[in-house]
Structures are given as C-alpha cells and as structure tokens.
Amino acid sequence: MSKPIKTPKTTAEHTLFAVFEEDVAAAVASLTPVQAAYLSLKAFTGKAGALVIVPDETGVKAWLGLGPRAAYTPMTFRGLPSQLPKGTWTLIYDKTLDSHAIHVAWGLGAYAFTRYKSAAASGEVRLNDAHLSEAERMSIAIEVRVHSLARDLVNTPANDMGPADIEAAARQIAQTHNADMSVIYGDDLLKENYPAVHAVGRAAGSDHQPCFIEISWKPAGGDETLPVIVLIGKGVAFDTGGLNIKGGSGMGLMKKDMGGAAHALALADWVMTTQLPVRLHVLIPAVENAISGNAFRPGDIIASRAGLSIEIGNTDAEGRLILADALARASELAPALTLDFATLTGAARVALGPEVIPFYTDDEDVARRLEVAAIAQYDPLWRMPLWKGYDPALDSDIADLRNDPAGWAQGGSVTAALFLQRFAPKTGAWVHFDIYAWNPRGRAGWPVGAEAQTLRAVYQLLKSY
C-alpha cells in the first residue's frame, strides 16, 4: 500500500522530496498553498525523473518524480547531481526503498572525467548520508569508486592508455592489495606460448609492445580450499582494424576497445577491497591493433596457446584472438568460474543496443543467478544463446577454425561467443559478456562517454561463490 509522504520539519537548507505518482496528491496536500500552486503550475505529476525546484523562504526545496511504484528504479536518482543546485541535500522519501541503491545511483551520477580540463567545476551536489552507518558509507564509496575507475580507464585516450598504461593501472591495483603480478612482454610472448596475443600486437612497435598481464590474489588467511575465480578483460588499447582498416567513423571510439580490461580490473579491485573469500586470477592481454610492415594479414594462419590453428579472415576480428590465449591460460588454473569481458562485436549493439549487455554461458545455474542479480541491481543483462547450429560457420578449410565466421550465420555476437567457447575452460562455469562500455546519448547522469556495465550484477554473483 502506498504511504503518503508528509513534509517534515527540517532546518536543512536543501531538501529533496522524492514522490511516486500514486502519492503526489497526498504529498501536495501537506504543502503551503504557494508551494502547491507552484507544483501545479509546473504540471508535476510524479513522472519518473521529473524535477521541480520550488522557491521557499527557508532555503531550496526540490521535488523528484519516481514514476509509478511498480516501475521504480533507484537509477532515477542518478540524474540529480547534474541538475540540482550545489550543496548538500537531505532526501525525504519512502523509507521502504533501498537507501544503499539510491546513494550508489547518486554517486554514479556525480561522476565527471576532468583529467584534461584546464579548470574543473567548483563545488558539488552531495546527498546527506548522516543517517547511514560507517560500514554503509564505506560500502557505497567502494562501489562508486570501482565504477569510476572503469570509466576513467575507458575515457582516457590511447596516447595515455596504451598497453604499458594498462599494465601500470593493473600494477597499481595489485600493489594496493598486495597481490602478485607478472607481465610477459613483446617477443617473450612467443617463448611463453601466447602466440595469438603476439600476432595481434606485434605491429604496434616497441613503444606499444603487446603484453600479457596476470594478477593472483587471495585474502589474508585464505587457503587452497577457496574457489578459483578468473576474470579476463580484452585490452585492445586502440583498434585501427589492422590491415582490414576501419573507416574514420569506425575508429572514432576505439580508445574504448580496452573496456573489457577496465571492467576486469575494476571488478578485481572490488573483490580484493572487500576481501571476498576466493582465489582470484586476473588475465589481461594488452595490445594495440596497429598497421605496419609486420602486421598480421588476412589469410595468415596463426597459432594459439590451446594448440588450435586459426585462419585470419579479417584482422578487425582481433579481440577474440587475444581472448583465446587468455581463456587457454584460464583453463590451466582449474577455475570454478571464468568471466570474460570484451567490447567485442557491433552485432551485440544491433541485437540489444548500448544499454543492455548480452551474456553467454552454458551453465544454467549461473545464468539464473546472473539474471536475478541483474534485476536486483538494476544492471541490465540479457542471456543470448550459444546456438550450436552456427558452429559450422567457424570451420576453416585449412586450419582448425577461422576468426571471421561465414556470412550465412549472420549472428555476429553469437558466433564470436562460439569462437571463444572453443577455448574456454572445461572446469567450472564460463560466462562471456559482450559489453559496450559507452554512453552514446548524453542525458542527466549519463554523460556521453565511458560507462561501467555488468559490475554490480557480477559482483553479486561472485559474493555467492
């Protein structure tokens, strides 16, 4: 049953009233005649995201519509930091709502990428958290920080986020948590049997040489009985398309092609900060898909760590090649769960757009748990099929498989996942996320630029392990 919100007595300078559509009439009845008339003038009905700033003799008051109760999402609060006047706001709302989720949404909406701004905006729009416990405030701060980390990494252009910079970001995280980290560089990738990573990245030159990053961690006092969790992130610092070069418009966002690595590192930071009882391995193949005289070519046959030969039909299908070596490495760790994150295909966007992330797995239990977590965390995911009918599209006449599936299969995101499945660990569950990591449409709380996707849902899955 809807509970009408009554205006409390408060001395806060900034007060925000959040109201469901069903409660607007009762809430307006408790206002002064002037305030009620103003809301009426603004045609405030409680529609989700509707915001009215009301003049008041004691300070600033604002009214936020939450929409119908049945369709409520705390992400409505994400738009407020960029719309409200600066200062600290006290929120008056239905206390049956999840305060943690509201504060997280507010924190996500307050994000701004200012690294290259000569002058950052002064002041901020804060949400009063005095009613929260110290543990609650810490949990919210961690959650917002790791999302900001992923977005910072993706937003940074390739001249400052090459393979070596991805390594530096990984090293900082590892050192913060006393984790072990190893890196294999350049031609040593061939000696250590990462031939696909080397093939994709070798054309970038010595200043941007490819590397394979591995972080290993377990909590203090953790032993070998803890489950092994492997996080893999596609770290293509910039993707020209290689010799199958992209057009200018296609290259415009390719600084974000390391979004998978950014997500894996941010999630690892979250796991280690909160000391989840797992043995964690993070695998990041970091490359730049460049063009030079030694670039890999269409028609080449390259080796992989798994021992499978791959015919190159298109050098712009490079992400699955470096992930193949990473998945083969994951297999050697006997994981209970392997998760890979990659800005892999445009076909995923054609299927589900930029905001809903497809995932692939053949483990029914993990699929159900992810679907529940996605709904609970307001972190949209959608399971896509590993449709075996398209498997023959990966067949090659002269190699074990090809990196560009035959055109008859059409489902580019599905066939990319089927390619990765050939290399995925046979122990435990494997899940592939074909993320976008970007907001193409700017709006309050979602500026054009990097977006962290899947992290909240996946973290809930990891907690259950």
CA–CA separation, 74 vs 61, rounded Å? 20
- Say which residues have a Cβ less than 8 Å from residue 119's Cβ, sequence separation at least 6: none
Neighbouring CB atoms inside 10 A of 57's CB total 6
CA–CA separation, 153 vs 252, rounded Å? 17
Helix (H, G, I), strand (E, B) or coil at 76: helix
And the tokens for 182?
């190893």
CA–CA separation, 184 vs 169, rounded Å? 16
Catalytic residue among 47, 246, 369, 383: 246
CA–CA separation, 161 vs 205, rounded Å? 15
Are the CB atoms for 308 and 400 separated by under 8 Å? yes
And the tokens for 279?
């043995």
Helix (H, G, I), strand (E, B) or coil at 426: coil
And the tokens for 133?
């416990």
**Side chain identity, residue 39:** L
Catalytic residue among 202, 279, 320, 402: 320
And the tokens for 76?
């409505």
Q: How far is CA 363 from CA 4, 359, 428, in A?
A: 44, 12, 9
451 alpha-carbon distance from chain centroid: 6
CA–CA separation, 36 vs 25, rounded Å? 10
329 catalytic, yes or no? no
Sort residue 410 into left (φ over 0), alpha (ψ -120 to 50) or beta: left
320 catalytic, yes or no? yes
**Sheet of strand 14-19: strand arrangement:** 51-56, 59-65, 14-19, 87-92, 125-127
Active site residues: 246, 320
